[in-house]
Structure 1
Amino acid sequence: MEQVVNAAISILFDGVAYGMLLFIISVGLSITMGLMGFANLAHGAFAMVGGYVLVSLITGFGVPFLIALVLASVFV
């Protein structure tokens, strides 16, 4: 029973975190679209590069998540 509760909490947390990420990206795109009048695809490209840097730091170099998050934010 404990494993089911832990799995449900983990799935809920991951879903909320992913939803927040999509919200931040979509708000940035809609602000850019509203100000410029056209979709700027560089916004999505920077989000993608940041994600790749984050995953590369964690898997390739063994950097802890929070430190990798800060480094990826500074890099991009």
Structure 2
Amino acid sequence: MAGWKKDLYIGDKLHQLEIPVRFIWGDKDAFEKPETGRLKTLAIQDCKFEVVENAGHCPWLDQPEVCTSLISTMLED
């Protein structure tokens, strides 16, 4: 993967998002902790952030039932 791709970084543009954004984040994510991920989302107008316990970077693989429930709930909003 050759490391970090600066030209793909959009963190400074998150405030421009005009659509609802939903995050499901594993509490054991190896790349970034939920707390730092949540901080980055504060710039997004319509954002919901859910943390899944006992899940890694791909929480839907570790906790599929929990993620399915969260997705269903988020789609109803």
TM-score normalised to the size of structure 1?
A: 0.30
Largest Rg, 1 or 2: 1
Structure with higher RCO (Cα < 8 A, 6+ apart): 2
Higher share in helix? 1
Higher share in strand? 2
TM-score normalised to the size of structure 2?
A: 0.29
